[in-house]
Amino acid sequence: MSSKIARPKKIKAQAVLLVARHWLMLSVAINIGFLLKLIHDGHLRMEWSGKENGVALSSLSSYPAEPKPENDGQIQQKLINLDHGDPTMYQSYWKQMGDRATVVISGWQSVSYFSDTKNLCWFLEPGFANAVTRLHNLVGNAETENRHIVVGTGSTQLFQAVLYALCPYDAPEPMSIVSAAPFYSSYPLITECLKSGLYKWRGDANDFDKDEPYIELVTSPNNPDGSIREAVFNGSGGILVHDLAYYWPQYTPISSRTDYDIMLFTLSKSTGHAGMRLGWALVKDEAIAKKMVKFIEISSIGVSKDSQVRAAKILDVISDTYGDAETSNESKPFFDYGYEEMEKRWGQLREAVNKGQSFSLPNLPVGKCNFSNRTFGTQPAFAWVKCEQAVDDCESFLKKHKILTRGGAHFGSSKKYVRVSLIGHDKDYNEFIRRLSLINSVQSP
Amino acid sequence: MSSKIARPKKIKAQAVLLVARHWLMLSVAINIGFLLKLIHDGHLRMEWSGKENGVALSSLSSYPAEPKPENDGQIQQKLINLDHGDPTMYQSYWKQMGDRATVVISGWQSVSYFSDTKNLCWFLEPGFANAVTRLHNLVGNAETENRHIVVGTGSTQLFQAVLYALCPYDAPEPMSIVSAAPFYSSYPLITECLKSGLYKWRGDANDFDKDEPYIELVTSPNNPDGSIREAVFNGSGGILVHDLAYYWPQYTPISSRTDYDIMLFTLSKSTGHAGMRLGWALVKDEAIAKKMVKFIEISSIGVSKDSQVRAAKILDVISDTYGDAETSNESKPFFDYGYEEMEKRWGQLREAVNKGQSFSLPNLPVGKCNFSNRTFGTQPAFAWVKCEQAVDDCESFLKKHKILTRGGAHFGSSKKYVRVSLIGHDKDYNEFIRRLSLINSVQSP
């Protein structure tokens, strides 16, 4: 870990305060210009691009070139972007794996639109389908028997495919879409993006009291707050969609083999390959799976074969690391790497938060993991941080310290909260912890 | 070419008639069962899946396994699917190229969401952008100076991105979308898919007479009929979107460097890599390009990096085949291969059509190609075939002969027409020509 974290703890409080105040004032002065540009752009703000904010977030561009190494002075001045869950943490694992996860693709491959015309999902590569099934069976996190696998351009496209599949085209009113707050900030953006007549975003499932059909999105562990969730409604009239992007053993104990009607998964958060744009759905009902396939056919005529071929390899390599003992000795099994990295990062975060009274974190459930046999508390890919005391707008407050996070309002919650990605590059994460500790030390009584 | 095509021409007419009648009756009897299943499923029929029709179109599944070779007897009984433009014709070229077009991708690649945070299109791989620019400059088919390149999951996603970008979110009425008939059958499907409040499909541009803003889609060469098009409207109030998927020198003379505001291209029809699901837009206006990027961000958080890396290689290999003389001698330049193959296929088609009075083809313009210096007539990826005489439903008629095509009604035109893909596998194409010749010989007076 960086030396920044390992500062001597017994340095006199007075000296820290002076240094920190000076640093804070300087920091605020430098940033006042682009802070004005960081005002939200209304209902569709996602801020993926650094350019849009007038700031080049060059450290996020990790491919194909490596980011340039930064020295300590540079990183302390740099904007740390923890707004989106860019899973660059995983890059070092895949580098360790060397050629084992490499694929070679010939020029004549990916010519046809079709992958398997005998499959309901005709653009699903059989090798990818097999690798998905194999990994679920190994981890035990989802039932794959008698399910249709539908592949999508990320679980983002699959979410839209689900809405299309579940909402009748000729209904007099659009179907209501709800999710318990705090909910994933993209759900309302996607749902409202085209002002569809098929569905309508109705916000917090806890506030929904209309006597009409609806779809409830259940994300567990939840994005942004990591809570383990059940549906708010279990009565009739509701259709449940389970977003299980984070139901993997590096983040949470695998307590049971989930068996829901519609389950969504994504490569971004399981293996860390966000740039592949690949997700999959496990769907019980054939008619629903067919309509999802129809949506993906209309909206993108299938899904990249190149990414599917690569993903098959990546998933198989993960399963292989749990194979024979010899293989396992060569390299750490994937989920052990992920678990230990998340454990370390959550340890650092809790230590920084516990240094003062400026911030708090949610309590997360502890459980036994059937996969690893470990008993541990959920350690999500995001931290749902609350600014305590007089800070009402936590996102703006952290921006003053050049820490970009996503404010609670985007998740249907209070501005006292922010969502912070914990799965970025090591260096950025360490710098975030350093700044958080400093703020917390300075602001404490 | 197959021996099926090279039958002796002087065989007695009477004998042909008897044999053909027998064959036709047998064929109709065998197919009566699944013909009933081939009825359209209403407004969203695209029929990509063979399974949906109760027939496994296994010959279309070309990847990763090769299709099993069929003997003459098998292919004569087989359903020939020319409904979609699956560009498998190109596979043999890319096989010839061997390792030159192969890419190797390491396990640690495609981890980050980001490709180039300094670019407005932050998910655009710089290598892909360079390869696109290089190829356009070589071919001379589109202006790339002072344009923003936006990459999409096929030009299908880019079309949606354009609609999102051009239609104001808060307009009182949805924007009208039009295109001159016959128009690409996916335009209405995509536009109406989610019953968007932003835009509405209004059909044939020639019938549009509302005094309100609209978007006109101009496809040139046109899908389905190959015509060279200009906008129907050139007055105020209209925004033009140019779909130039087929503006490549294997299909049509490159008469000028197009310079439109919004131009769409796709890999499927230029290089033949439909399974990559990759397209690109050249966009003059920065604000429009930004909104297109926003749509792709919301709907799929970017575009497969793996496909972009592969596409960069493929496009560069094409440009390379026009490089030094030594390279060119090794293998035929790409567009020469495509041109000669299309020329051959159109020759076969015209010969089969001219054998009788059952079918006709459109007249297509002849011009000088600035790229190849050849003077030739447009030879589109699709044939727009008209059934003459008493046949009113050309699609159903050809289905009786186990030839799947897409009927004219899908393109806003008459059922007397069908669109036939000409860019499939050699064997299927030859069999199509054999059947067409036979039908034409039998039905002629």
Q: How many CB pairs under 8 A join A and B?
A: 330
* Chain A positions in Cβ-Cβ contact with residue B99 (cut-off 8 Å): 106
DSSP-derived secondary structure for A29-40 = HHHHHHHHHTS-
Q: What is the mean pLDDT of residues A148-156?
A: 98
CB atoms within 10 A of CB A117: 21
DSSP-derived secondary structure for A266-316 = EHHHHTS-GGG--EEEEES-HHHHHHHHHHHHHHHSS--HHHHHHHHHHHH
List Cα–Cα distances, B24 to A21, B77, B142, in angstroms.
Answer: 91, 12, 48
Over 70: is that where the pLDDT of A34 sits?
no
Helix/strand/coil for B392: coil
Q: What is the reported pLDDT for A443?
A: 62
| Cβ atoms B200, B193 nearer than 8 A | no
**What tens digit of pLDDT does each residue of B61-92 get?**
333 444 566 777 888 889 999 999 999 999 99
CB atoms within 10 A of CB A131: 21
- Best B47, B62, B114, B273 residue to mutate vs chain A (most A CBs within 10 Å): B114
User: Which of A44, A86, A307 shows the shortest C-beta gap to B298?
Assistant: A44
**What tens digit of pLDDT does each residue of B118-166 get?**
999 999 999 999 999 999 999 999 999 999 999 999 999 999 999 999 9
**What tens digit of pLDDT does each residue of B236-272 get?**
778 999 999 999 999 999 999 999 999 999 999 999 9
**What tens digit of pLDDT does each residue of B330-382 get?**
679 999 999 999 999 999 999 999 999 999 999 999 999 999 999 999 999 99
Helix/strand/coil for B417: strand
Instruction: Give CA torsion, residues A22, A25, A30, A34, to 10 deg.
Output: 150
**What tens digit of pLDDT does each residue of A200-222 get?**
999 999 999 888 899 999 999 99
CB spacing of B195 vs A190 below 8 angstroms: no
* Chain B positions in Cβ-Cβ contact with residue A112 (cut-off 8 Å): 60-63, 86-88, 91, 274-275
| Cβ atoms B213, B237 nearer than 8 A | yes
Which region holds residue B348: left if phi is over 0, alpha if psi is between -120 and 50, else beta? alpha
Average pLDDT taken over every residue of chain B:
86
CB spacing of A112 vs B44 below 8 angstroms: no
Higher-confidence position of B154 and B11: B154
State how far the Cα of A21 lies from the Cα of A16, in Å rounded to an integer.
8
CB spacing of B195 vs A169 below 8 angstroms: yes
Q: Chain A residue with minimal CA distance to B86? A: A112
- Residue A309 has which token pair? 């071929």
Interface predicted TM-score (ipTM) of this complex, two decimals: 0.86
State how far the Cα of A233 lies from the Cα of A212, in Å rounded to an integer.
13
Average pLDDT taken over every residue of chain A:
86
* Chain A positions in Cβ-Cβ contact with residue B192 (cut-off 8 Å): none
Over 70: is that where the pLDDT of A18 sits?
no
Q: What is the mean pLDDT of residues A32-45?
A: 30
**What tens digit of pLDDT does each residue of B32-47 get?**
333 223 323 333 334 4
CA distance A388 to chain B (A): 32
Percent of chain A with pLDDT over 90: 77
Which of A235-249, A304-318, A401-415 has the lowest average pLDDT? Answer: A235-249
pLDDT band at A69 (very low <50, low <70, confident <90, very high): low
Higher-confidence position of B444 and A346: A346
